[in-house]
Amino acid sequence: MQTDPIADYLTRVRNALAAQHDEVTIPASSLKREISRILKEQGYIADFSIADARVGQEITVKLRYTDDRLPVISGMERVSRPGRRRYVETSQIPKVLGGMGTTIVSTSSGVMTGHEARRKGVGGEVVAHVW
């Protein structure tokens, strides 16, 4: 059996938003830290923190809602999976909802948004789409 930690991260956030929780705790990894950083920079989450757990570390993500208590994140989708990796060149980095969403790309220069990757002229693995 093979597991996908990034899909687990996205699913935990999606489920916490559906249940209207204020925060969600997820086992930490360096890629999950970078995804959390991007989500915070883009305004999808309020904040995140990293703390020691019984085994390793964990990320606590503080979720963000509108004034009407609707989630700021309306959708998240894993693109590149362990069974089907998706790599793109700079010119092929997809735009989410015509540029209204965010593509998260893992490049040789680090994890960044699709917009940043296009600007820097680097391609890489398309990790997820968030809108």
DSSP structure class, residue 4:
-
In a domain, 12, yes or no: yes
- The alpha carbon dihedral of 48, 33, 122, 126 has a sign of negative
Examine the domain organization and report whether 9 and 38 are in the same domain: yes
User: In the chain, how long is the greatest CA-to-CA distance?
Assistant: 44
pLDDT at 2 (0 to 100)? 65
Examine the domain organization and report whether 91 and 119 are in the same domain: yes
Residues 76, 104: Cα–Cα separation, whole Å: 11
Whether residue 124 contacts residue 87, with contact meaning beta carbons closer than 8 Å, is answered with yes
In which domain, by residue range, is 52 found? 5-63
Examine the domain organization and report whether 10 and 56 are in the same domain: yes
pLDDT per residue, tens digit, the chain (131 aa), is: 468 999 999 999 999 999 999 999 999 999 999 999 999 999 999 999 999 999 999 999 999 999 999 999 999 999 999 999 999 999 999 999 998 999 999 999 999 999 999 999 999 999 999 99
Residues 81, 7: Cα–Cα separation, whole Å: 8
**Single-letter code of the amino acid located at 5:** P
Q: In the beta sheet, which residues pair with residue 128? A: 78, 104
How many domains, in total, are found in the chain? 2
Examine the domain organization and report whether 88 and 44 are in the same domain: no
Q: Of 51, 57, 46, 56, which Cα lies nearest the Cα of 13?
A: 46
